A and B are shown apart, each in its own frame.
Chain A
Amino acid sequence: MPAADRPDSVYFFGTCLIDMFYPEAGLAGMELLRREGLKVVFPQKQTCCGQPARNNGHQDEARAVARLQLDAFPGDWPIVVPSGSCAGMMKTHYPEMFEGTPDHARAVAFSARVFELTQFLVEVLDVKLADKGRPVTITWHPSCHSQREMGVLDQPKALLRQLSNVTLVENPREKECCGFGGSFSVRQPEVSAAMVTDKVNSIEATGATQVVSGDCGCLMNINGAAEKAAKPFTGRHIAEFILERCHGR
C-alpha cells in the first residue's frame, strides 16, 4: 500500500457485542491503530450495525438502526471494525438495504470506507509486529462472514505468523461454522449445540491452548461451550492477543 493511501485518522466501530461483553477487545483494537500513529475516533453515537434485525426479517428496524450509524460516522476516514460479521453487514448489505431510499448514496459511500480490523492492519497499514510473549500454540477460527463476505482469511494469519513465539496450527475444520448464527442459537438450540460441540472438539484436537478469532459472536459461543465442557483452551480476540504479545504479557 503506498503511503499516500495511509490515512492520518480512522473511525472505530466497536460493535454492540464488544461494547457490552468484550470491551477489552475493542480497546485493544483501538490501541493497535493508535500505536501506528493514527488518530482513532470513537463516535459515542454509534450503537449496532443492525444485523440482528435484518437477519430476522425486520428490514425497517434494521434500516432505522443502520441509519444512525450513517449519521455517526460523517467524515471521510476509514471505518475500522473488529468483527468480520458486522463489517460484512456494513460493507455488503448496507447498499442493498438502502436501495431506493434517499440514504442510498451515503450508504454506498459508507460501505466503501468499511474495513475489518486485521484487513486494515495488513492491507493499509502493513504493520510489523515484534513478539515479546512466551511460546504458545494457537489455532485460528475465521468467522463465516469474515471469510465469505469480507474475504478475510489470510490477513489475520499473516499477522499471527509475524509473532515469532507463536505457533499457529491449522484446524482442518476451521472453515466450518461454529453454530452461533445470532438468533439461530436460540431458534435451533440443539443444532447450534451440536455444531459448537463439534467446533470445540476440533479445536481441542489441534492441541492449541488458545483459539484466536476476529469475531466476538463466535468467541462467545466457542468460549461458552469450551468453558462448560472444561476444554483445555480459551478463546481470545485477535486484537487483544496481538496487543498482549507486543507488550510482552
Chain B
Amino acid sequence: MAVEARKSDFTGKAHVALNDPKLRANFRRAMDGLMTKRAAQFADAEEWTSLRARGAAIRANALAKLPELLELLEANLTRNGIKVHWAETVAEGNAIVLDILQKAGAKTVIKGKSMVSEEMHLNAHLEANGITPVESDLGEYIIQLAGEAPSHIVMPCIHMNKVEIAELFADKIKNLTYTEDVDELCAAARAALRGAFAGADAGISGVNFLVAETGSLVLIENEGNGRLSTTLPPLHIAVTGIEKVIERLEDVAPLLSLLPRSATGQIITTYVNMISSPRKPGEKDGPKEVHLVLLDNGRSRVYSDVQLADTLRCIRCAACMNHCPVYTRVGGHTYTFTYPGPIGKLLSPQLEGLDCAGDQVHASTLCGACAEVCPVQIPIPDLLARLRTEAVHPTSVAVKGGGSARSLADSLGWGGWTAMYSSPLVYKISTRVMGLVGNLMPASLPMLKQWTSVRTKPKFAAKSLHQLARERGFSNE
C-alpha cells in the first residue's frame, strides 16, 4: 500500500483548534498538570543539571558511534535469538512486518504503544491485508475506537475529556452501560481487551532503548499492556527507529531517570521491561519468536548533517510539547504528521520534506521553553532556525525539500530589508520617513491587518532614538 503524500496545513488546522473551546480547555488543563508534575521531579537544580548533561552525552555518543553500535546490536541480538530486519522506508517496514505475520499464519495482533508504528501507518497496512490489529494501551485503544490519530506522543487521547470517552465507550463497547467513572471505564477496557490478549496470534510493540552491549530491548510503560503484548502471544515483533540504540546497559539508568520524570512527572514507570531473547527451552511463557524491525525512513539523511543530527538524540519524553505555548493552544492534530509539538516541528520537515511540512518550522516563536526542559539538551530553537534557513536556501541539499520556500517576493523583501539595515544612511532616511508618515498606514495593509485583529496599531515615534540621543548630547563615539 502506498502511503499517501500529505501536506501540512498548520494555519488552517490551528484555526479549527483555536475555535474549539473544549479542545483548548482539555489541552490547557492537561499541560498545566504535566508541567507542575515535571517541575516537582526536578526541583533539585543541581541534580537536574548533572543528570541531563549525562543523558545528553550518552545520546550524543551513541549517535557518534551509530554505525558501529548498530552492527554490535545486530550481532548481539542475533546471538540472543532475536531476528533483526532493516527497513529503509515505511513501505519496506510494513512489508517486513506483514511477511513475518503471514508466515506465522497470524490473523490478529495485539499492539503495545508504538509511535514508529504510527509513523508507518502500520495498522492500516495490516487491515488492508486481512490482519486485525488491536491497540491495547488505553489511550491508543480509545483513539482506535474513535478512528483518530494520537494527539500526543505519550498520552495519545489527551485531546479528549472524560465525557467524550464515556460516550465513545457506551457507543462502541458491547453491553456497556454509560458511565463517566474512570475506574469503571478502565475496567470496561480491561474486560474488552483480556480476550484480545489471550487470542492474539502476535504482539507488536515499540522500543525505548536498544542496548548494543547486551542485545536487549528496553520498553517502559505503566499499564502492563506492553508486557502482555510482548509475553502472551507466541510471536513478538518490535518496531523502532535506527537512532534508538545506546552503547551500554549502564546508560539505561540515567536515561531512565530522565525519561518518565520529564514525560509524566513519575519517578519511574510502573514497568521497565528488558527483553533479551525469545522463550528458551524449559521456559513456560514468552514468545517463541522475537523480531526487531529497524526503520530508517529518512533518519540516516538527518544523521548526515552534524547539526541536524541532534534531532536524533530525542528519547520521546514529550516534555517539549508539554511546555510548548503553541502546542498547548492548538493540540497535536494541528501538526498533521505523527510527531506533534516542537520535536515534531523538527522531525516532520526532515522526514517528510520541507516542501510538505515547511510551515511547521515557522509555527514557533522560538521562545525556547522546549529546549529548557529537553532532558537530552536538543537545541530545538537553533535547529528550527537552521531548518528555516534550509527552506529558503537556493542550493540546500541538507534537508529533503530544501529551498522550497524560496520566492522572488521573499528574496526582494529581505534584500530591501538588508539594504536598509546595513547602511547607516539609508537607515537614517528610512526611519525619518517612517517617523513622518508611518502612522498614516491603514490598518488594512496585509501584515497590519493580522496584527490589528486583537491589537492596536503600533505608533511610530516622531523622533528616533538616534535623533534624541544627538539632541541630548550623547556622544557618537
Q: Contact residues of A with B, CB < 8 Å?
A: 12, 14, 16, 18-24, 26-27, 30, 39-48, 50, 52-59, 61, 64-65, 67-68, 72, 144-145, 148-149, 175-177, 179-198, 220-221, 223-225, 227-229
Residue on B nearest A82 in the bound complex, by CB: B465
8 Å CB contact of A21 from B458, B469, B470: B458
Per-residue A-contact encoding for B53-80, CB less than 8 Å = 1, 0 else: 0000000000000000000000000000
Asked whether, in the complex, the Cβ of B18 is within 8 Å of the Cβ of A184, the reply is no
Asked whether, in the complex, the Cβ of B365 is within 8 Å of the Cβ of A177, the reply is yes
Asked whether, in the complex, the Cβ of B365 is within 8 Å of the Cβ of A193, the reply is no
Asked whether, in the complex, the Cβ of A57 is within 8 Å of the Cβ of B388, the reply is yes
Q: Contact residues of B with A, CB < 8 Å?
A: 10-11, 14-15, 18, 325-326, 329-330, 362-369, 371-372, 385, 387-393, 405, 414-415, 417-418, 420-424, 427-428, 431, 434-435, 438, 447, 450-461, 463-470, 472, 474-477
Given A21-B460, A57-B390, A58-B392: A188 touches B363 (CB 8 Å cut-off): yes
Given A55-B385, A191-B326: A47 touches B421 (CB 8 Å cut-off): yes
Asked whether, in the complex, the Cβ of A41 is within 8 Å of the Cβ of B475, the reply is yes
Residues from chain B with a CB closer than 8 A to the CB of A228 are 452, 454-456
Asked whether, in the complex, the Cβ of A20 is within 8 Å of the Cβ of B431, the reply is yes
Q: State in angstroms the CA–CA spacing of A246 and B427 once bound together.
A: 34
Question: Nearest Cβ distance between residue B447 and chain A, in whole angstroms?
Answer: 5
Asked whether, in the complex, the Cβ of B364 is within 8 Å of the Cβ of A181, the reply is yes
Residues from chain B with a CB closer than 8 A to the CB of A223 are 456
Asked whether, in the complex, the Cβ of A225 is within 8 Å of the Cβ of B455, the reply is yes
Asked whether, in the complex, the Cβ of B14 is within 8 Å of the Cβ of A23, the reply is no
Residue on A nearest B389 in the bound complex, by CB: A57
Residues from chain A with a CB closer than 8 A to the CB of B392 are 56-58
The 17 listed contacts between A and B (C-beta, < 8 Å) are: A20-B460, A20-B464, A30-B469, A40-B475, A42-B469, A43-B477, A56-B392, A58-B418, A65-B421, A72-B424, A148-B367, A179-B365, A181-B367, A195-B329, A197-B454, A224-B454, A227-B456
Asked whether, in the complex, the Cβ of B14 is within 8 Å of the Cβ of A41, the reply is no
Of A45, A56, A180, A224, which is in contact with the most chain B CB atoms at under 10 Å from its CB? Answer: A56
Residues from chain A with a CB closer than 8 A to the CB of B464 are 19-20, 23
Q: State in angstroms the CA–CA spacing of A186 and B283 once bound together.
A: 63
Asked whether, in the complex, the Cβ of B365 is within 8 Å of the Cβ of A41, the reply is no
Besides A27-B469, A47-B424, 10 new A-B residue pairs in contact (Cβ under 8 A), listed by A number: A21-B460, A41-B477, A43-B476, A48-B421, A68-B421, A72-B424, A144-B365, A145-B368, A190-B14, A197-B454
Q: State in angstroms the CA–CA spacing of A24 and B364 once bound together.
A: 30
Residue on B nearest A44 in the bound complex, by CB: B476
Which 10 pairs between the two chains have the least Cβ-Cβ distance? Answer: A181-B365, A224-B455, A57-B388, A189-B450, A177-B367, A144-B367, A23-B465, A148-B368, A42-B469, A26-B465
Q: State in angstroms the CA–CA spacing of A145 and B381 once bound together.
A: 11
8 Å CB contact of B475 from A42, A149, A187: A42
8 Å CB contact of A185 from B390, B450, B459, B468: B450
Residues from chain A with a CB closer than 8 A to the CB of B454 are 193, 196-197, 224-225, 228-229
Asked whether, in the complex, the Cβ of A65 is within 8 Å of the Cβ of B329, the reply is no
Residue on A nearest B434 in the bound complex, by CB: A20
Asked whether, in the complex, the Cβ of A190 is within 8 Å of the Cβ of B11, the reply is yes
Question: Nearest Cβ distance between residue B363 and chain A, in whole angstroms?
Answer: 6
8 Å CB contact of B451 from A26, A176, A186: A186
Asked whether, in the complex, the Cβ of A41 is within 8 Å of the Cβ of B474, the reply is yes
Q: State in angstroms the CA–CA spacing of A175 and B215 once bound together.
A: 43
Q: State in angstroms the CA–CA spacing of A203 and B107 once bound together.
A: 58
Question: Nearest Cβ distance between residue A198 and chain B, in whole angstroms?
Answer: 8
Asked whether, in the complex, the Cβ of B451 is within 8 Å of the Cβ of A224, the reply is yes
Question: Nearest Cβ distance between residue B310 and chain A, in whole angstroms?
Answer: 14
Question: Nearest Cβ distance between residue A193 and chain B, in whole angstroms?
Answer: 4
Residues from chain A with a CB closer than 8 A to the CB of B388 are 55-57
Asked whether, in the complex, the Cβ of A189 is within 8 Å of the Cβ of B451, the reply is yes
Question: Nearest Cβ distance between residue A92 and chain B, in whole angstroms?
Answer: 9
Asked whether, in the complex, the Cβ of B475 is within 8 Å of the Cβ of A184, the reply is no
Of B363, B423, B451, B465, which is in contact with the most chain A CB atoms at under 10 Å from its CB? Answer: B465
Asked whether, in the complex, the Cβ of A20 is within 8 Å of the Cβ of B435, the reply is yes
Residues from chain B with a CB closer than 8 A to the CB of A145 are 368
Asked whether, in the complex, the Cβ of A196 is within 8 Å of the Cβ of B455, the reply is yes
Question: Nearest Cβ distance between residue B329 and chain A, in whole angstroms?
Answer: 5
Question: Nearest Cβ distance between residue A13 and chain B, in whole angstroms?
Answer: 10
8 Å CB contact of B369 from A176, A191, A194: A176
Asked whether, in the complex, the Cβ of A144 is within 8 Å of the Cβ of B391, the reply is no
Residues from chain A with a CB closer than 8 A to the CB of B371 are 148
Question: Nearest Cβ distance between residue A75 and chain B, in whole angstroms?
Answer: 8
Asked whether, in the complex, the Cβ of A187 is within 8 Å of the Cβ of B362, the reply is yes
Asked whether, in the complex, the Cβ of A188 is within 8 Å of the Cβ of B367, the reply is no
Of B10, B371, B420, B461, which is in contact with the most chain A CB atoms at under 10 Å from its CB? Answer: B461
Residue on B nearest A14 in the bound complex, by CB: B465
Residues from chain B with a CB closer than 8 A to the CB of A26 are 465, 468-469
Q: State in angstroms the CA–CA spacing of A65 and B424 once bound together.
A: 10
Q: State in angstroms the CA–CA spacing of A220 and B417 once bound together.
A: 20
Residues from chain A with a CB closer than 8 A to the CB of B363 are 184, 187-188, 191
Asked whether, in the complex, the Cβ of A30 is within 8 Å of the Cβ of B461, the reply is no
Residues from chain B with a CB closer than 8 A to the CB of A24 are 461
Residues from chain A with a CB closer than 8 A to the CB of B456 are 223-224, 227-228
Question: Nearest Cβ distance between residue B457 and chain A, in whole angstroms?
Answer: 8
Residues from chain A with a CB closer than 8 A to the CB of B364 are 181, 184
Q: State in angstroms the CA–CA spacing of A228 and B455 once bound together.
A: 5
Q: State in angstroms the CA–CA spacing of A227 and B428 once bound together.
A: 30
Asked whether, in the complex, the Cβ of A144 is within 8 Å of the Cβ of B469, the reply is no
Residue on B nearest A64 in the bound complex, by CB: B422
Asked whether, in the complex, the Cβ of B422 is within 8 Å of the Cβ of A188, the reply is no
Asked whether, in the complex, the Cβ of B461 is within 8 Å of the Cβ of A20, the reply is yes
Residues from chain A with a CB closer than 8 A to the CB of B452 are 224, 228
Given A19-B464, A20-B434, A43-B476: A181 touches B366 (CB 8 Å cut-off): yes
8 Å CB contact of B362 from A30, A68, A184, A194: A184
Q: State in angstroms the CA–CA spacing of A185 and B362 once bound together.
A: 10
Asked whether, in the complex, the Cβ of B18 is within 8 Å of the Cβ of A220, the reply is no
Q: State in angstroms the CA–CA spacing of A232 and B472 once bound together.
A: 34
Asked whether, in the complex, the Cβ of B477 is within 8 Å of the Cβ of A191, the reply is no
Q: State in angstroms the CA–CA spacing of A23 and B464 once bound together.
A: 6
Q: State in angstroms the CA–CA spacing of A188 and B367 once bound together.
A: 15
8 Å CB contact of B329 from A14, A30, A55, A194: A194
Residues from chain B with a CB closer than 8 A to the CB of A20 are 431, 434-435, 438, 460-461, 464
